[in-house]
Amino acid sequence: MDSLLERGRNLLTRLQRRFFRFGRGRGVSDKDVWNRRLVHSLSRTRLPSWRQIRHLPEVLSSNDNLKLQLGTILILAGLAILGGRWYYGNTVLAPAVGGTFTEGVVGSPHSLNPVLAVSNDVDMDLTRLIYSSLYTTDKDGAIVPELVLNETVSPDQKTYVLRLREAKWHDGTPVTADDVLFTLGLFQDPAWKSPLRAEFESVTASKVDDRAVQLVIKEPLLSFRSLLTFGILPQHVWKNIAPADALQAEANLKPIGSGPFAFDSIERDSRGFILAYNLKRNPDYYAQPPYIERLRFQFYPDDNAALDGLKRHDVDSLSYVPRDLIPGLKGIGAITPVSLELPQVTAVFFNTQKNAALQDKNVRRALAMAINKSRLLLDVLHGEGRPLDNPPLPGYVPTPGAAPVFDPVASGKLLDAAGWKLDTDGLRKKTTVTTTKVKKVTTSVTTQTPLAIRLTVVDQPESDADAKIIQESWATIGVTVEIDAVSPTDIYRSRIQPRDYEALLYGQLMGPDADPYPYWHSTQVADPGLNLALFANRQADADLEAARTSADATERAGHLANFINILNDQVPAVFLYSPVYTYPLPAALKGFEGTRINIPADRFASVTNWYLKTARVWK
């Protein structure tokens, strides 16, 4: 058999050579025909077998072999190109699950309980990602439903029936109406000392069924939905934890939520300080689960250390970059600073209870007129912000010239009229004469009291720079200023909570609806209220109450205008500017959306759309 096969191969070789000669126009002899038949008899088909084809290079000349190889390559390349075109024409590049995103943050977590997490940006960042809310803010800063599937509102705008989506806690337990009522009850419980307790005191909540709640308010409130953006707590986890034990509870730093990300791990140093906090993707998130597999927050003591971490590529981004450090972002590969509009009011709030001189509204007005806001914007913010004369309010257009304007000369005249005269040393002083009578002898004592103010600020570069410019501005009109710089971690406990300041340079976030009630109503003057100027005016209270309950836009704007006129007359604070929030992001991160945030945590509004990995999917 082997010899027969060998003879067949030889015949095939001769036939192939004769075949190539056929291509040159020569005829076919009878012998060639018989040889062809013999060769075909060795195979069941008239097509060459693989055993025959693989010996083809042995019978071809080197030139023919080269032609064959080139032809084969061209055919394969053509097939590859056609296949590639077909594949890419029928697929698209889409986000894929995977990757770790690390963000550098100044500070550390303290309370990952939404009932308490309102004064610490780190806490608010993490609770935003871990917990779900009834309502939330979207990428444009608008209030939209989150856990709420649909709502029914009564004609008088006082009763809300909210039906919940089907959702699960990170431990697999279903989210129910009982969880909503439990969380709201914690806000209302005085023992929990929530800073938002006053907002929910008048809310009556009841259960409709396992997935629906009814909320009743005493008066219509246009901003009511924005109050319902707090994270919902799992009742089965927190029901046996006393308020006094909340900060030490395991559920505080290892929380169970229903948001897009779940707790993963905590990294500590040898002293127990938290160095990093890790979250992992929640694949069972009831909305679109996130693409990023892990979010890692790495903590730093200050902004300079955080920027150094970004330069070393220890982190992918920073939660925030102060204006003075923005130039340091240049030269860091593939980092793009994103500018976000932030409804923050930076102002100097006067506390008339701590400084008798500030009880005179003309003194307050004179201090306001001595501050050059344009210089603050250029020297401190580098133009990244806008000046403010009043708090920004929806539907209200400020009247030009109604608020105090920069005029140092007029400022000095106001102080003169108020009895604060320039002395030879260039300082403003008020002369008082005290008369005493002892045994028909009258004695008069003349004293001079300098106009001095203690200005409290958060000890951060931007605030420190603002404070120095204000100090210089007030010095030009003869006012002595002592700067009281307090660390960011201590400012709330030591100064704001006890209202221990004469003048406070501070930034307040107005929220999505910019309702001024929490910041200026007389019921909010004491902690946990947000009325930092301790402002109390009956007419202002009436306008604030009417503005937040009026459904008529024109009527509401009228009440806000009345309120602003009172502020301009009384000058309880000097409104300075609203800054831009700078958020540096790496080029590798895709899917970030938005131009406006209400609070820093809102930068995560589109976090479920962020991605680091991609894959092709069929159209």
Helices 2-22, 30-41: axis angle to 10 degrees equals 130
Integer Cα distance of 175 and 195 in angstroms: 25
The closest alpha carbon to 595, from 586, 587, 607, 583, belongs to 583
For residue 48, pLDDT beyond 80:
no
How far is the CA of 164 from the CAs of 13, 132, 217, 284, in angstroms? 81, 11, 19, 16
Q: What values do phi and psi take at 400, rounded to 5?
A: -60, 135
Contact 477, 370 (CB under 8 A): yes
Burial of residue 419 (number of CB atoms within 10 Å: 0-12, 13-18, 19+): middle
Could you report the per-residue pLDDT of 274-320, keeping only the tens digit for each?
999 999 999 999 989 999 999 999 999 989 999 999 999 999 999 98
User: In this model, does residue 35 exceed pLDDT 70?
Assistant: no
% the chain with pLDDT above 70: 89
Please calculate the CA angle 483-485-491 and round it to the nearest 5 degrees. 130
Q: What pLDDT does 577 receive?
A: 93
The least confident of 126-130, 329-333, 409-413, 569-573 is: 329-333
Q: How far apart are the first and last CA of the chain?
A: 57
Q: Which SS3 state, helix, strand or coil, does residue 528 take?
A: coil
pLDDT (average), residues 108-130: 91
Q: How much is the average pLDDT of 235-261?
A: 95
Q: What is the mean pLDDT of residues 440-465?
A: 87
Candidates 601, 531, 613; CA nearest to 567 is: 531
Q: Tell me the C-alpha distance between 230 and 282, whole Å.
A: 20
- CB under 8 Å to 146, separation ≥6 — which residues? 132, 133, 134, 135, 136, 287
The Cβ of residue 522 has, within 10 Å, a number of other Cβ atoms equal to 15
In the three-class reduction of DSSP (H, G, I as helix; E, B as strand; rest coil), residue 148 is classed as strand
Q: Which of 370, 569, 571 is nearest to 451 (CA)?
A: 370
- The owner of tokens 């012998």 is 31
Which pLDDT score is estimated for 592? 95
Q: Give the DSSP letter string of 596-618.
A: B-SSGGGGGTTGGG-BSEEEEEE
Please give the model's pTM, rounded to 2 decimal places: 0.73
Sign of CA dihedral 251, 256, 260, 266: positive
Phi, psi (deg, nearest 5) at residue 132? -105, 155
Q: Which two tokens stand for residue 526?
A: 């004491």
Residues forming beta bridges with residue 145, ordered by sequence position: 135
Between CA 342 and CA 512 the distance in angstroms is 10
Whole-angstrom distance, CA of residue 539 vs CA of residue 309: 51
Nearest to 339 by CA among 142, 136, 140, 597: 597
Tell whether omega for the bond before 404 is within 30 degrees of 0, i.e. cis. Answer: no
**Half-sphere exposure at residue 612, Cβ-oriented, CA atoms within 13 angstroms:** 12
Q: What is the dihedral of CA 598, 600, 601, 607, to 10 degrees?
A: 90
DSSP state of 417: H
Instruction: Give the C-alpha distances (Å, rounded to integers) separating 22 from 27, 39, 46.
Output: 7, 17, 18
Q: Residue 8: is its pLDDT beyond 70?
A: no
**pLDDT class of 38 with cuts at 50, 70, 90:** low
Neighbours of 385 (CB within 10 A): 21
Mean predicted confidence (pLDDT) in 21-44 = 53
Q: What is the pLDDT of residue 21?
A: 44
pLDDT at 37: 60
Map 264-297 to HEC letters: EEEEECCCCCEEEEEEEECCCCCCCCCCCCEEEE
Which amino acid does the sequence have at 197? R
Tell me the C-alpha to C-alpha distance, in Å, between residue 505 and each of 262, 378, 464, 466, 496: 37, 18, 10, 8, 11
pLDDT in tens, 331-364: 887 898 998 988 889 999 999 999 999 999 999 9
How far apart (Å, rounded) are the C-alpha atoms in residues 266 and 276? 6
Which range in 269-273, 325-329, 425-429, 500-504 is most confidently predicted, on average pLDDT?
500-504
pLDDT over 60 at 2, yes or no: no
Count CA within 13 A, CB hemisphere, residue 213.
22
pLDDT of 1 above 70: no
DSSP for 38-107 reads HHHHTSSSSSPPHHHHTTHHHHS-HHHHHHHHHHHHHHHHHHHHHHHHHHHHSEEEEEES--EEEEEEES
Average pLDDT over residues 234-246: 95
Structure confidence at residue 60 (pLDDT)? 67
Q: What is the pLDDT of residue 382?
A: 83
With bands split at pLDDT 50, 70 and 90, how would you rate the model's confidence at 395? low
Instruction: Report residue 159 as tokens.
Output: 């009763």
Phi, psi of 482 (to 5 degrees): -105, 125
Q: Are 255 and 118 in contact (CB under 8 A)?
A: no
Residue 583: how many other CB atoms lie within 10 Å = 21
Lowest-pLDDT range, 77-91, 241-255, 337-351, 591-605?
Answer: 77-91
Give dist(CA 549, CA 219) in Å, integer: 6
Between 38 and 124, the more confident residue is 124
What pLDDT sits at residue 525? Answer: 93
Query: How many residues are present in the chain?
Result: 619
Domains and CATH numbers, the chain: 2-91 (no CATH), 100-316+588-618 (3.40.190.10), 344-579 (3.10.105.10)
pLDDT in tens, 167-225: 999 999 999 999 999 999 999 999 998 878 888 988 999 999 999 999 999 888 888 89
